[in-house]
């Protein structure tokens, strides 16, 4: 699982990490029962306070996305449904950021949605919303 | 984290052992130089012996070398250490004052090893050349302790006695070096610029003599020499520490016949030597401990300013 | 305006703090290096101490190690008075000084590490070996022949190898090239993961360590003008995009740290210090229209506090 943190994103780091884990689940790089990097590994890789990683993992554990196997590490829960709660949370995050950006540029929500649909159609994607099971956009 | 699981500070014994190692390591350079000089000197002595010269005698109490080495040793011990001001030592979890004394002690251990090595070497040299070591030998004794004017002494007035040096005199190099080292170490850790003092004090004394001579004040003119005499050649003077007074008691006079002979004003007294040694080393230790207070970490028990 | 000391940080008067100072003052003749500083570094926090050159950051760290005596006030590390219990405090601390000199110039790196290991009974030899590998220490080279960067690496190894409960790092990555800097910080993150450690860092490269930090303190001319947890900082300092009407006058008591304006439109961008709701209210009441409020990255937010005028 590759995690990328955005330096310019002002959201709390643990939230960013949680979103990255969810993204990996939705996109399919992480599957149920897969191991996630240890707190130590991830903290070193991202150069992030281990407590931040721990906080992210704990929250995800609390939400039922991850679970800890004693002495073996942290794993993705076997019954996690990437296409339900996770995708929705992810989409919410993307939408919120897009809306903020839009407002910053003087665009309203409706204008934004129209533009998105136009752009997606131009790029060959179906106009109606479909749950994305694989990472198959032609970006 | 619980405050109960604090990391400990190192034990003094460990610190001492480590300092002996460090001081010994830092003395590698001077040690090599000294060894080379010793080897050269020995080679010359052996060469002379082989070509018909006399054997190498070694009287342990007569050599001023251990005393001189002891006096100069702190220079080498403290050379790579910043004695005043923030140094690597200051970052370590040790009490600075105590650790300064630990370092002095470590230097002393190395010094004793050096003196022992020197002694064994000289012993070997003497044995190899068949010289006299601590054996009885005949010496000429003056009739009184006062050294007569040159050319006035009648040879018949000299008494020849058998001087049997006591075995305890083998300790003299060690005690001499120790005494000198303790005093010099006190200067090293107590004074920021020991060189200024080492040059300044004798210079001032000499200046006083010069002024005395110029102004024709006998008391001042002779002050320097009297001071030196008292400190060095007194009954329990420095020479008693360094050579059991063998150095100052042994002198050369010109006889009425014109011949120059080596005579003794008196014989070294073991009791005097023991007392002098104890006095000097004792005083030195007191001064050393006092000087170490300059190394202490500053503690300022100020009342906290209300936040 | 009184210094922006977070209320929460001051609570408990430092009872549960790894490092707490009370009115800590340091004067060099007439020059006041630290002025009545009340530092609070909570247990296991990663605290960045910011400030311009000469603001007193290095002095604060030196006082904690008792390398210099304080002119007033006290400094406590794990409850121990740094001035009274210097050796004990230093046994709990891994210190990287500002200067690049590691010790005896005639010793090799390896010899120095071995020498230091005797003085820290808690020294972890295996870890020290891993650190010297990871930092590529030249163990056989004499300290006197090392470059600035190499010396820094030795100093870092010395500080970390005995796994002290407190790390005082004064510009830890100074003199290191970017690749090594990243490696050092990754090592630091791992170090923190292995054992709970409190870290107090001063650095000019805030962006490097900002993802590690959870507390921030700002020193200005010896005074601690701000001290708070990271989230609180990001809530307190924000960027406001405002539309101004003609003839507009800024409310006098608004703390504006930085501003950008474009002449063509009447739009300005202000970095304002204060609670978001309060600031927005004040601006709106004054007649401005707040278009947008956004958070700032940690470095910018902290730096915004630097030029803030504190009236006494």
The fraction of chain C above a pLDDT of 90, given in percent, is 57
Q: Which residues of B touch C101 (CB under 8 A)?
A: 88
What residues contact residue A130 under an 8 Å CB cut-off, 6+ apart? none
User: How far apart, in whole angstroms, are the C-alpha atoms of residue C209 and residue C212?
Assistant: 5
Q: Which residues of C touch A11 (CB under 8 A)?
A: 295
Dihedral, C148, C149, C151, C152 alpha carbons, nearest 10: 120
- Is the pLDDT at C269 greater than 90? The verdict is no
Q: Which residues of C touch A100 (CB under 8 A)?
A: 294
- Is the pLDDT at C292 greater than 70? The verdict is yes
Q: What is the mean pLDDT of residues C46-74?
A: 92
What are phi and psi for residue B137, nearest 5 degrees? Answer: -145, 155
- Write down the pLDDT at residue C8: 43
> Which residues of chain B have a pLDDT value below 70?
1-4, 61, 133-134, 145, 300-307
- Is the pLDDT at C276 greater than 90? The verdict is no
- State chain C's mean pLDDT as an integer: 87
Q: Which residues of C touch B14 (CB under 8 A)?
A: 118
CA angle C106, C130, B22 (to 5 degrees): 25
- 3-state SS, chain B, equals CCHHHCCCCCCHHHHHHHHHHHHHHHCHHHHHHHHHHHHHHHHHHHHHHHCCCCCCCECCCCCCHHHHHHHHHHHHHHCCCCCCCCCHHHHCCCCHHHHHHHHHHHHHHHHHHHHHHHHHHHHHHHHHCCCCECCCEEEEECCCCCCCCCCCECHHHCEEEEECCCHHHHHHHHHHHHHHHHHHHHHHHHCCCHHHHHHHHHHHHHHHHHHHHHHCCHHHHCHHHHHHHHHHHCCCCHHHHHHCCHHHHEEEEEECCCCEEEEECCCCCHHHHHHHHHHHHHHHHHHHHHHHHHHCCCCCCCCCCCC
Query: Mutating which of A16, A43, A96, A102 best tests the C interface, going by the most C Cβ atoms within 10 A?
Result: A43
What are phi and psi for residue C15, nearest 5 degrees? Answer: -65, -40
User: What's the pLDDT tens digit per position in B63-77?
Assistant: 788 989 999 999 999
User: Measured between CB atoms, does C18 come within 8 Å of chain B?
Assistant: yes
Q: Are C69 and B95 within 8 A, CB to CB?
A: no
User: Measured between CB atoms, does A8 come within 8 Å of chain C?
Assistant: yes
Predicted ipTM beyond 0.90 = no
Please return the burial class of C310, using the count of CB atoms within 10 Å of its CB with bins 0-12, 13-18 and 19+: middle
Question: Which DSSP state fits C21?
Answer: E
Q: Are B304 and C69 within 8 A, CB to CB?
A: no
Q: What is the mean pLDDT of residues C72-86?
A: 93
User: Measured between CB atoms, does C94 come within 8 Å of chain B?
Assistant: no
The fraction of chain C above a pLDDT of 70, given in percent, is 91
Q: Are C192 and A43 within 8 A, CB to CB?
A: yes
pTM for the full model?
A: 0.84
- Write down the pLDDT at residue B57: 73
Looking at per-residue confidence, does A24 or C64 come out higher?
C64
C-beta of residue B242 within 8 angstroms of C-beta of residue B176: yes
Determine how many CB atoms are found less than 10 A away from the CB of residue B275.
Answer: 14
Give the up-direction half-sphere exposure of residue A5: CA atoms within 13 A in the CB hemisphere.
22
Domains and CATH numbers, chain C: 4-231 (3.40.50.300), 236-311 (3.30.70)
Q: Which helix (H) or strand (E) covers residue C284, if one does? A: helix C276-285
Q: Which residues of A touch C187 (CB under 8 A)?
A: 44
- Write down the pLDDT at residue B232: 79
Subunits that touch chain C (at least 3 Cβ pairs < 8 angstroms)? A, B
Both structure tokens of C20 = 């707490």
Question: Which DSSP state fits A38?
Answer: P
- Write down the pLDDT at residue C287: 82
C-beta of residue C193 within 8 angstroms of C-beta of residue A40: yes
Residue A10 has its nearest CB partner, among C188, C208, C297, at C297
User: Measured between CB atoms, does B10 come within 8 Å of chain C?
Assistant: yes
pLDDT band at C312 (very low <50, low <70, confident <90, very high): very low
In chain C, beta strands by DSSP E: 4-5, 17-28, 31-37, 40-42, 46-51, 72-77, 80-81, 93-96, 166-170, 198-202, 215-220, 223-229, 237-243, 255-261, 267-273, 289-295
β B260-264/C31-37 pair status: unpaired
Residue appearing with tokens 């063998």: B246
Q: Which residues of C touch A39 (CB under 8 A)?
A: 193
User: What's the pLDDT tens digit per position in C10-42?
Assistant: 444 556 899 999 999 999 988 999 999 999 999
Q: Are A49 and C213 within 8 A, CB to CB?
A: yes
Which residue of chain C is at minimal alpha-carbon distance from B21? C115
> Which residues of chain A have a pLDDT value below 70?
1, 7-8, 10, 81-86, 125-139
What residues contact residue C278 under an 8 Å CB cut-off, 6+ apart? none
User: Measured between CB atoms, does C92 come within 8 Å of chain A?
Assistant: no
Q: How far is CA C34 from the centre of its chain?
A: 15
User: How far apart, in whole angstroms, are the C-alpha atoms of residue B69 and residue B31?
Assistant: 12
Residue A50 has its nearest CB partner, among C185, C192, C291, at C192
Dihedral, C231, C205, C9, A6 alpha carbons, nearest 10: 10
Q: What is the mean pLDDT of residues C149-173?
A: 96
Determine the number of helices (DSSP H) and then strands (DSSP E) in chain A. Answer: 5, 2
Q: What is the mean pLDDT of residues C69-97?
A: 94
């Amino acid at each position: 699982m590759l995690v990328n943190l955005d330096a310019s994103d002002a959201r709390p780091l643990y939230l960013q990490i949680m979103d990255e884990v969810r993204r990996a689940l939705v996109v399919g790089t992480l599957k149920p029962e897969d191991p996630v990097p240890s707190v130590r590994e991830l903290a070193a890789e991202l150069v992030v306070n281990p407590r931040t990683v721990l906080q992210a993992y704990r929250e995800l554990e609390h939400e039922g996305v991850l679970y800890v196997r004693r002495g073996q590490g942290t794993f993705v829960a076997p019954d996690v449904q990437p296409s339900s709660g996770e995708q929705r949370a992810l989409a919410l995050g993307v939408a919120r950021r897009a809306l903020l950006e839009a407002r910053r540029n003087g665009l309203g929500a409706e204008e934004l949605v129209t533009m998105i649909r136009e752009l997606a159609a131009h790029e060959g994607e179906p106009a109606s919303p479909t749950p994305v099971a694989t990472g198959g956009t032609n970006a | 984290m619980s405050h109960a699981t604090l990391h400990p500070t190192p034990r003094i014994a460990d610190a001492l052992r480590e300092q002996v190692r460090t001081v010994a390591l830092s003395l590698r350079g001077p040690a090599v130089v000294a060894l080379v000089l010793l080897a050269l000197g020995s080679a010359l002595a052996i060469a002379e012996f082989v070509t018909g010269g006399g054997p190498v005698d070694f009287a342990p109490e007569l050599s001023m070398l251990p005393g001189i080495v002891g006096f100069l040793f702190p220079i080498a011990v403290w050379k790579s250490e910043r004695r005043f001001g923030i140094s690597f030592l200051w970052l370590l979890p040790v009490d600075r004052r105590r650790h300064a004394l630990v370092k002095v002690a470590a230097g002393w251990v190395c010094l004793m090893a050096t003196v022992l090595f020197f002694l064994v070497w000289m012993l070997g040299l003497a044995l190899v050349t068949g010289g006299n070591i601590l054996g009885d030998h005949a010496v000429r004794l003056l009739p009184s302790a006062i050294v007569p004017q040159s050319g006035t002494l009648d040879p018949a007035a000299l008494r020849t006695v058998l001087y049997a040096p006591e075995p305890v005199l083998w300790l003299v190099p060690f005690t001499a070096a120790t005494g000198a080292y303790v005093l010099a170490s006190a200067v090293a850790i107590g004074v920021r610029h020991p060189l200024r003092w080492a040059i300044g004090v004798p210079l001032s004394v000499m200046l006083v003599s010069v002024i005395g001579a110029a102004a024709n004040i006998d008391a001042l003119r002779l002050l320097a020499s009297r001071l030196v005499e008292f400190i060095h050649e007194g009954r329990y003077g420095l020479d008693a520490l360094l050579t059991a007074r063998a150095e100052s008691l042994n002198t050369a006079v010109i006889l009425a016949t014109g011949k120059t002979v080596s005579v003794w004003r008196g014989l070294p007294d073991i009791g005097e030597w023991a007392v002098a040694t104890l006095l000097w080393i004792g005083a030195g230790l007191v001064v050393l401990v006092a000087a170490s207070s300059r190394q202490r970490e500053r503690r300022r028990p100020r009342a906290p300013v209300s936040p | 305006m009184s210094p922006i000391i977070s209320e929460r940080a001051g609570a408990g008067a430092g009872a549960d703090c790894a490092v707490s100072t009370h009115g800590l003052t340091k004067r060099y003749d007439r020059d006041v290096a630290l002025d009545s500083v009340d530092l609070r570094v909570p247990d296991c926090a990663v605290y960045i101490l910011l400030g311009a050159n000469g603001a007193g950051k290095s002095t604060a760290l030196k006082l904690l190690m008792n390398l210099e005596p304080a002119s007033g006030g006290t400094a406590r590390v794990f409850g121990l008075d740094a001035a009274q219990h210097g050796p004990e405090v230093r046994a709990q601390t891994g210190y990287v000084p500002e200067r690049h000199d590691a010790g005896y110039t005639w010793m090799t790196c390896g010899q120095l590490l071995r020498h230091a290991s005797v003085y820290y009974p808690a020294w972890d030899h295996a870890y020290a070996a891993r650190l010297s590998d990871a930092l590529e220490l030249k163990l056989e080279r004499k300290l006197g022949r090392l470059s600035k960067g190499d010396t820094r690496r030795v100093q870092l190894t010395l500080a970390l190898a005995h796994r002290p409960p407190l790390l005082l790092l004064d510009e830890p990555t100074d003199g290191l090239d970017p690749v090594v800097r990243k490696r050092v910080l990754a090592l630091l993150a791992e170090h923190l993961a292995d054992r709970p450690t409190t870290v107090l860092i001063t650095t000019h490269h805030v962006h490097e360590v900002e993802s590690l930090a959870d507390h921030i303190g700002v020193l200005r001319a010896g005074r601690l003008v701000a001290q708070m947890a990271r989230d609180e900082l990001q809530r307190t300092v924000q960027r406001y995009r405002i539309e101004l009407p003609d003839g507009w006058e800024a409310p006098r008591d608004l703390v504006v740290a930085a501003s950008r304006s474009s002449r063509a439109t009447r739009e300005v961008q202000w970095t304002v210090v204060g609670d978001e709701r309060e600031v927005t209210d004040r601006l709106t009441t004054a007649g401005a229209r707040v278009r947008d409020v956004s958070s700032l990255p940690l470095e910018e937010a902290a730096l915004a506090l630097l030029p803030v005028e504190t009236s006494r």
